[in-house]
Amino acid sequence: MVDAILNRALEGERVSFEDGLRLYEQADPSALAAAAHELRSRRTDPRVVTYLVDRNVNYANECVTDCLFCAFYRPPGHAQAYVLSRDELSAKLSELEEIGGTRVLMQGGNHPSLRLEWFEELLRWMRAAHPTIEINAFSPSEIDQVARLEGISVRATLERLQSAGLAGLPGGGAEILDDDVRRRISPKKLKVEGWLDAMRTAQELGLATSASMVIGWKETLEQRVGHLDRLRSLQDESQASHGNGFSAFIAWTAQIEQTPLGRTRLARGMGASPEEYLRLVAFARIYLDSFTHLQASWPTMGEEVARAALHAGADDFGSTMMEENVVSPASGGKTTRRLEIERICARIQEAGFTPAQRDTRYKILHMHEPVA
C-alpha cells in the first residue's frame, strides 16, 4: 500500500490526507527520502542548491503574547526590553551591504504600544537609507497586533506597510497550524485562521511570503499532516486566483531548553530528533506538490543534518542570517550561529551540488563554479 502511494506520487498524482497520513506513519525512511529527492530534482534544477545572503534583525523584544516556548521576549516595563535606534539598525544594514546582502528579515515581539505610523516611518527610512536591501518584515501575529491597536483590518494594515516599503511577510509564528496545539503552547497568539488569512491577504497584495512549521510539541501525526494540508490548500487557492503564493516551505524542531515551557511538566516528551526532521522534510516535498522550494534549516538542525536534507527533498540551504536572537536563546545558544558565505557554499558542494546565490523569490543572482 505505501509503495503504491509513493509510486502514484512519482507519477504526478496528488497524495490525499488519508494516504499522506499512512505514508508518513509507515514509509521506509530511505524510500521516502529517495522519492522526495526525485520529485525535488524534477521541480528544480537537480544540480543546484541555492542560498540567500541576508540578515535577521530583531527591532524590538517587548511582547504581550507570552508564548511559553519563547526566551527572547521581555514583558512591558522589563529592564531588558528594547527598541533599536535608527543608528543601530543602520549599522546592521550597512554590515549586510558590505557582504553583498540583498534582504533583511526584520521581526520583533507583539509590542503593546508601537503604532502603525511608527512602522510606516521606519520602513520609509529604511527604504531611503538602504535602497538595495529588500525589506521582508514582521509576521502574521505582529500584523494582527498592529491592526488591533489601530482598530483596522489586517488588509488595511498590510496595504499601508507595503506602500511604505514592505516587500514580504515571512511566515513566522506558524508552529503547528492546529488550534488545540496553539492553545497549549501559545494561548494568546493568533489562531490558525488568523495566520492563514494574513498570509492569504499578503499574497493577494503581491508580497513575498514563506511557509513554516515547527514540530516537537507532542502534536499528533494527524495534526502535522493537517498543517501541511492547510498550507497546500492556501497555495492552491493563491496560485489559482492571482499566481502568487508561498515562495518556500521551511521546517525545524522545537527548541525549548531555556524557555518557560522547558521548565514545566508539559515539556516532557517534547522535541524532535534529526531523523524526525528529515522524515518531515521528505514527506513535505511529496505532500506539498504545489510548492517549488523547500529550505533546509541549518540554524536549528546543524550543518550536517541540513546537508542530509538536500538529499531528502530540500533544494535550498537557507541564508547567512548574520545574527539570530529568537531560537538561539531558547536552546541555550546551542543551535544557532552565523554562517559565512564560504561555509554555506562548502556544505552545498560537499553534498554534491553547485551553490547559487538567490534573492527572496529564488531568482539566481550568482552561480558558483560547478562541483567537479
In-domain check, residue 73? yes
In-domain check, residue 338? yes
Q: How many domains does the chain have?
A: 1
Quote the pLDDT of residue 66. 82
Q: Is the pLDDT of residue 289 over 50?
A: yes
Among the residues of 16-115, which ranges form H helices?
A: 17-26, 29-43, 86-98
Structure confidence at residue 297 as a pLDDT band (50, 70, 90): very high
Structural domain span for residue 307? 46-367
In-domain check, residue 19? no
Q: Is the pLDDT of residue 213 over 90?
A: yes
Which CATH number fits the domain that encloses residue 123?
3.20.20.70
Amino acid at 134: E
Q: Which residue has the higher pLDDT, 67 or 5?
A: 5
> How many whole angstroms separate alpha carbon 270 and alpha carbon 119?
36
In-domain check, residue 30? no
Is the separation of the CB atoms in 314 and 282 below 8 Å? no
pLDDT tens for 234-250 read 999 999 999 999 999 99
Supply the pTM of this predicted model.
0.93
In-domain check, residue 306? yes
Is the separation of the CB atoms in 337 and 298 below 8 Å? no
In-domain check, residue 242? yes
Quote the pLDDT of residue 336. 43
CB atoms within 10 A of CB 235: 22
In-domain check, residue 8? no
In-domain check, residue 5? no
